[in-house]
Amino acid sequence: MNDSHYCPHTPEEIAEMLSVIGVSSVEELFAPIPSELRAKNFNIPAGMSEFETFDSMKALADENGQGIVNFIGGGFYDHIIPAVVDHLSGRSEFYTAYTPYQPECSQGTLQALFEYQTAICRLTGLDVSNASLYDGGTACAEAAMMALRVTGRNKIVVDGCVSPFSRQILKTYLFNLDVEIIELAPVDGMLGRKELAEVLDSSVAAVLVQNPNFFGSIEDFTIIADQVHAAGALLIGSVYPIALGILKSPAEMGVDIAVGDGQSLGNPLSFGGPSFGFIAAKKSFIRNMPGRIIGETADRNGKRGYVLTLQAREQHIKRHKATSNICSNQGLCALRGLIFLSATGKQGLVDLALLNRDKAEYAKNQIATLPGVTVLQSASTFNEFTVRLPKPAGFVVAALLQHGIAAGVPLGEYYEGSENCLVITVTEKRTKKEIDQLVKELGVALCN
């Protein structure tokens, strides 16, 4: 063994342990690993106290840019999380719970998921919801699969303003199926309505739109819904749940299936998750929904109880009859979404949405005063908006990052010809001071 290794055992103790497991040396333990692949020195430090360990971990975490002011959105948002969300979701009966394989014995879990479904239905205005999905992207794909089953058709039309991440997931889901995906190029950051009319025919199962879309634009799809329904297709709407505090609900627009990502509902930003996806639909489509649906009933004594009403997944029924292969849903993350909505309340959600809108409008107006900067004005926005800069957006983002500001999402990677375009997001967490600093540093970067 290398003398630089920290080892709490004497050579005699090590020899005794090796003899018990039937090897003569430590090197023999690693014999199956080719020598060129073995670590030459593990550099294991001496043991530390609990306090020292936490201090060391914090120092490592700080290297990840914990002090950066975040103006990035694109589907994942830096919102305030009320303390009650962490407190209640961290209780052991929720935090350690897993898929209830004897569900009726898990009345607490079932009730929580039933209440979650109810909250999603009230949020979207639609009739039914399941007990959550993995994330917003897979929710879009599951909704498309639903539409294919309901209509028996083989085309999905996707607005190019839908998140590129969701569009990629959709393509992956449908890759091995006899399904055609038609993507419509954005027109001034909005759905190309003329282009949609040209491809909408009797072979289209569904049209997928997003509101607000990836550019931040808000659209009313009520007329689109009428056109889609006239062609015998379904309208799928991907929505930002916080924005529903002030926008028309999917049901009010005539959307048949509403989906979205629930990260903004009480779930922290992490390195890719976890989050949860939600889905809601008209009641007539309930048997085509993926996953599981919790129902409320009464036992033989008349007491309220909860059951798994529908379990249309491959673990419960014949595989070829399953509506989805989704297994474990994101129950804990969905519970956090429920607690967030319950703590915020109906008027609280309205106030939260207005705060997001108002702060974004302030930022938009300030940025519009910068020389050479154009703010996309083709539609109203919520808390995201697109600006066209006189320099490549990637260059500007890198410059501002040096000053502790994550300025937004450069669009050039996702949309050809948009290299100078940047999507900026302003949530309720951003202060006037932080917004003013963003404008100041943006102006400096554009002048250099």
Say if 58 falls within a structural domain: no
Environment class of residue 211 by beta-carbon count within 10 Å: exposed (0-12), middle (13-18) or buried (19+)? buried
Give yes or no: residues 165 and 279 share one domain. Answer: yes
Q: End of a domain among 326, 341, 356? A: 341
Give yes or no: residues 201 and 311 share one domain. Answer: yes
Say if 35 falls within a structural domain: yes
**What integer pLDDT is reported at residue 3 of this predicted model?**
45
Q: End of a domain among 341, 372, 404? A: 341
Q: What is the CATH number of the domain that holds 377?
A: 3.90.1150.10
As a three-state string, the secondary structure of the chain is: CCCCCCCCCCHHHHHHHHHHHCCCCHHHHCCCCCHHHCCCCCCCCCCCCHHHHHHHHHHHHHCCCCCCEECCCCCCCCCCCCHHHHHHHCCHHHHCCCCCCCHHHCHHHHHHHHHHHHHHHHHHCCCEECCCECCHHHHHHHHHHHHHHHHCCCEEEEECCCCHHHHHHHHHHHCCCCCEEEEECCECCECCHHHHHHHCCCCEEEEEEEECCCCCECCCCHHHHHHHHHCCCEEEEEECHHHHHCCCCHHHHCCCEEEEECCCCCCCCCCCCCCCEEEEECHHHHHHCCCEEEEEEECCCCCEEEEEEEECECCCCCHHHCCECCCCCCHHHHHHHHHHHHHHHHHHHHHHHHHHHHHHHHHHHHHCCCCCCEECCCCCECCEEEEECCCCHHHHHHHHHCCCEECCEECCCCCCCCCCEEEEECCCCCCHHHHHHHHHHHHHHHHC
**What integer pLDDT is reported at residue 35 of this predicted model?**
85
Give yes or no: residues 320 and 372 share one domain. Answer: no
**What integer pLDDT is reported at residue 221 of this predicted model?**
98
CA–CA separation, 349 and 340 (whole Å): 10
Q: End of a domain among 341, 374, 390? A: 341
Say if 437 falls within a structural domain: yes
Say if 224 falls within a structural domain: yes
Give the Cβ contact number of residue 62 at 10 Å: 10
**What integer pLDDT is reported at residue 82 of this predicted model?**
96
One digit per residue, pLDDT tens: the chain, 448 residues?
A: 444 444 567 888 888 999 999 988 888 888 889 988 887 777 778 888 998 999 988 888 777 766 789 999 999 999 999 999 999 999 988 887 776 667 788 888 899 999 999 999 999 999 999 999 999 999 999 999 999 999 999 999 999 999 999 999 999 999 999 999 999 999 999 999 999 999 999 999 999 999 999 999 999 999 999 999 999 999 999 999 999 999 999 999 999 999 999 999 999 998 777 899 999 999 999 999 988 899 999 989 999 999 988 876 555 665 667 777 676 668 899 999 999 999 999 999 999 999 999 999 999 999 999 999 999 998 999 999 999 999 999 999 999 999 999 999 999 999 999 999 999 999 999 999 999 999 999 999 999 8
Give yes or no: residues 26 and 146 share one domain. Answer: no
**What integer pLDDT is reported at residue 368 of this predicted model?**
97
Say if 415 falls within a structural domain: yes
Q: What domain range includes position 40?
A: 11-47
Give yes or no: residues 322 and 260 share one domain. Answer: yes
Tens digit of pLDDT for each residue in 393-403?
999 999 999 99
Give yes or no: residues 290 and 376 share one domain. Answer: no
Give yes or no: residues 190 and 105 share one domain. Answer: yes
Say if 57 falls within a structural domain: no
Cα separations (Å) of 104 from 98, 243, 295? 14, 35, 11
Give yes or no: residues 34 and 166 share one domain. Answer: no
The token duo for 243 is 């924005």
∠ CA 131-135-138, rounded to 5°: 95
Output the pTM of the full model.
0.86
CA–CA separation, 144 and 105 (whole Å): 34
Using the CB atoms, write b or e for 345-371: b if 16+ within 10 Å: eeeebeebbebbbebbbbbbebbeebe
Tens digit of pLDDT for each residue in 4-43?
444 567 888 888 999 999 988 888 888 889 988 887 777 7
As for how many domains the chain has, the answer is: 3
CA–CA separation, 441 and 39 (whole Å): 45
The token duo for 332 is 């804990």
Say if 228 falls within a structural domain: yes
Q: What is the CATH number of the domain that holds 177?
A: 3.40.640.10
CB 143 within 8 A of CB 257: yes
Give yes or no: residues 391 and 416 share one domain. Answer: yes
**What integer pLDDT is reported at residue 83 of this predicted model?**
96
**What integer pLDDT is reported at residue 151 of this predicted model?**
97
Give yes or no: residues 173 and 309 share one domain. Answer: yes
**What integer pLDDT is reported at residue 278 of this predicted model?**
97
Give yes or no: residues 88 and 233 share one domain. Answer: yes
- Single-letter amino acid, residue 138: T
Tens digit of pLDDT for each residue in 201-254?
999 999 999 999 999 999 999 999 999 999 999 999 999 999 999 999 999 999
CA–CA separation, 233 and 387 (whole Å): 34
Residue with tokens 């949609």: 196
Give yes or no: residues 39 and 100 share one domain. Answer: no
Say if 63 falls within a structural domain: no
